[in-house]
C-alpha cells in the first residue's frame, strides 16, 4: 500500500515537472515508424553538462506514467537520481505480441521479434546516445509478455543493459533453466528485479516462483537480485507496487545516508569516516555514471559520527571535501571551526566562524549563526584580571571587570585567513 500510494501521489503531483515529448522514429529494422516517448528530467535544460542513467520501457504507452511519477517523486526528495526515460509504444493492433513473439519450440525470438530486438540494440540506443546526455548505466523494464522478452538481452555475451525489471513475466519455454545459468555466470555487475502476485494466472505464477527458487540459489557476487510476491494484488496492480521497490533496489547505493546505514555502517567505525563518504560517492559514480555534489545531509551524517566518536582531526579532511564540493559556501569553515572548538582552541575556532561569515549560506548554516558562535566563544578567552591580595581577601575595589580583551578579532572586519 505504501508503494502504491507513493506512485499515485507522484502521478498526480509531480509528473508535470518532467519534460515528455513524442518522437516518430523511422526504423529500418522494423520497416515502419514507431512512436517513442522521451521523458527528460526537470534539470536537463538547466544543467547542460549533467549526464543521466537511461531507462528503456517496453509497453511504454502504459508504463511511462507510473515510472515517470515514481522517479520524479523520488528525485524531488533526493532519494532517487534523475533518469532519462524512453518508452516504446507497442499498443497498436496487438503490436506487443508481434514485437515480442518467440518460436514455440525453441523459446527464442524469431522473425519480427528479431527485428524488434535489433531495433532496440542497433537503432534506438545509438540514437539516444547520440542525441541525449546519458551515462553508461542502462535499465530496461516490461510487463508480462514484454517482461519475458527483455531477458533476451541477457543472452548476449555483453548484455546491453545493466539492470532488468521483469514484472510478472510470461516465460517462454526453457527460460526458467537458461536465465539462472546466464546470471550465475555473469562477469559484470547486474541488477535483476522479479515480481508476481497471487492474482496472476496460476500456471504463469508457478513458473515465476520456480524461477525465483533458482535465482535465489545463485552465489554470484556480481548479481543483485530481488523478488517480491504481492498478496491481494492483481496481474495489473502489482505494477504499481513493484515499480518503486525495483527502483530503490537498483539505486540503493545512490540513496542518502539513512538512519540504518548510519547506525550499522558508520557510527560503528573506529576511524575512516571521511573515507567512507568518499567511497560511497565513488561507487555512485562508477556504478551509475552519476557525478553529483555530496549531499549536505551526508556531510552532516559524517560530521555527527566524527563528533560522536570524538575523532575531531577528521573534521579537517571533511572540511577539505566540503570546499571541493561547495567552494563558495561556509560549510568547510564551519567544520574547521567545530574542530578547533572541540579541541579547546577557541581563538582559532572564532577565526573560522568569522571566515565563514563572509561566504555563502548553505542548508541550516547562516551568517547570523556563524557570527553568534564567534561572539559566544570570544567570551571564553577574554582577558581576565589579576587577583590582588591574599586568598579570600576582598579585592573588588581594585579589579576592573570591564577591561577589553586585546587579542579578540573584531567583528567589524571578519578574518578571512587561509585554511591551514
CATH of the domain at 284: 1.25.40.10
Domain assignment present for 399: no
Contacts of 352 (CB under 8 A, 6+ apart): 333, 334, 336, 337, 340, 419
Calculate the average pLDDT of the chain. 89
Q: What is the pLDDT of residue 261?
A: 96
User: In the prediction, which pLDDT does 382 show?
Assistant: 63
- Residue 388 predicted with pLDDT over 80: no
Does pTM top 0.75 for this prediction?
yes
Residue 393: predicted pLDDT? 41
If you search the block for the grid coordinates 513493484, which residue do you land on? 242
Confidence band, pLDDT 50/70/90 cuts, at residue 381: confident
SS3 190: strand
User: Of 254, 277, 309, which residue is a domain's last?
Assistant: 254
Domain-embedded: residue 187: yes
Do 196 and 332 share a domain, yes or no?
no
User: Is a pLDDT exceeding 90 seen at residue 418?
Assistant: no
Instruction: Check whether residue 204 and residue 346 sit in a common domain.
Output: no
3-state SS assignment for residue 104: coil
pLDDT at residue 229 greater than cutoff 70? yes
For residue 168, what is the DSSP state? S
Residue 408 falls inside a structural domain:
no
Query: Is the predicted pLDDT of residue 375 greater than 50, yes or no?
Result: yes
Q: Give the closest residue to 303 by CA, choosing from 339, 278, 352, 327.
A: 339
Beta-carbon neighbour count of residue 299 at 10 Å?
Answer: 26
Report strand pairing: 163-167 vs 134-143. Answer: parallel
Q: Which domain range does residue 115 map to?
A: 2-254
Total number of domains constituting the chain: 2
Amino acid at each position: 500500500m505504501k508503494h502504491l500510494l507513493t506512485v499515485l501521489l507522484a502521478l498526480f503531483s509531480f509528473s508535470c515537472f518532467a519534460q515528455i515529448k513524442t518522437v516518430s522514429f523511422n526504423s529500418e529494422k522494423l520497416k515502419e515508424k514507431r512512436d517513442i516517448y522521451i521523458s527528460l528530467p526537470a534539470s536537463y535544460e538547466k544543467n547542460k553538462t549533467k549526464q543521466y542513467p537511461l531507462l528503456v520501457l517496453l509497453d511504454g504507452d502504459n508504463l511511462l506514467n507510473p515510472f515517470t511519477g515514481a522517479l520524479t517523486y523520488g528525485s524531488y526528495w533526493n532519494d532517487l537520481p534523475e533518469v532519462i526515460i524512453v518508452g516504446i509504444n507497442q499498443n497498436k493492433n496487438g503490436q506487443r505480441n508481434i514485437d515480442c513473439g518467440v518460436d514455440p519450440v525453441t523459446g527464442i525470438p524469431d522473425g519480427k521479434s528479431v527485428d524488434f530486438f535489433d531495433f532496440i540494440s542497433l537503432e534506438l540506443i545509438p540514437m539516444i546516445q547520440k542525441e541525449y546526455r546519458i551515462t553508461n548505466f542502462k535499465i530496461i523494464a516490461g510487463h508480462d509478455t514484454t517482461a519475458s522478452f527483455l531477458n533476451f538481452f541477457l543472452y548476449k555475451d555483453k548484455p546491453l543493459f545493466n539492470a532488468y525489471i521483469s514484472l510478472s513475466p510470461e516465460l517462454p519455454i526453457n527460460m526458467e533453466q537458461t536465465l539462472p545459468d546466464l546470471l550465475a555466470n555473469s562477469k559484470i555487475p547486474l541488477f535483476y528485479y522479479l515480481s508476481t502476485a497471487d492474482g496472476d494466472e496460476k500456471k504463469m505464477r508457478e513458473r515465476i516462483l520456480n524461477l525465483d527458487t533458482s535465482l535465489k540459489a545463485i552465489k554470484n557476487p556480481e548479481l543483485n537480485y530481488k523478488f517480491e510476491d504481492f498478496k491481494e494484488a492483481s496481474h495489473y496492480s502489482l505494477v504499481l507496487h513493484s515499480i518503486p521497490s525495483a527502483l530503490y533496489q537498483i539505486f540503493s547505493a545512490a540513496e542518502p545516508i539513512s538512519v540504518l546505514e548510519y547506525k550499522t555502517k558508520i557510527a560503528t567505525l573506529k576511524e575512516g569516516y571521511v573515507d567512507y563518504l568518499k567511497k560511497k560517492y565513488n561507487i555512485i559514480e562508477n556504478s551509475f555514471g552519476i557525478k553529483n555534489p555530496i549531499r549536505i545531509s551526508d556531510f552532516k551524517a559524517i560530521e555527527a559520527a566524527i563528533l560522536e566518536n570524538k575523532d575531531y582531526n577528521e573534521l579537517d579532511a571533511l572540511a577539505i571535501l566540503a570546499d571541493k564540493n561547495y567552494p563558495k559556501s561556509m560549510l568547510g569553515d564551519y567544520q574547521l571551526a567545530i574542530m578547533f572548538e572541540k579541541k579547546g582552541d577557541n581563538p582559532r575556532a572564532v577565526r573560522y566562524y568569522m571566515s565563514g561569515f563572509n561566504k555563502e549560506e548553505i542548508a541550516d548554516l547562516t551568517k547570523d549563526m556563524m557570527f553568534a558562535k564567534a561572539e559566544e566563544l570570544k567570551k571564553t578567552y577574554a582577558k581576565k584580571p589579576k587577583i590582588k591580595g591574599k586568598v579570600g581577601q576582598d579585592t573588588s575595589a581594585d579589579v576592573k571587570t570591564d577591561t577589553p580583551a586585546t587579542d579578540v578579532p573584531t567583528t567589524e572586519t571578519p578574518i578571512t585567513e587561509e585554511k591551514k
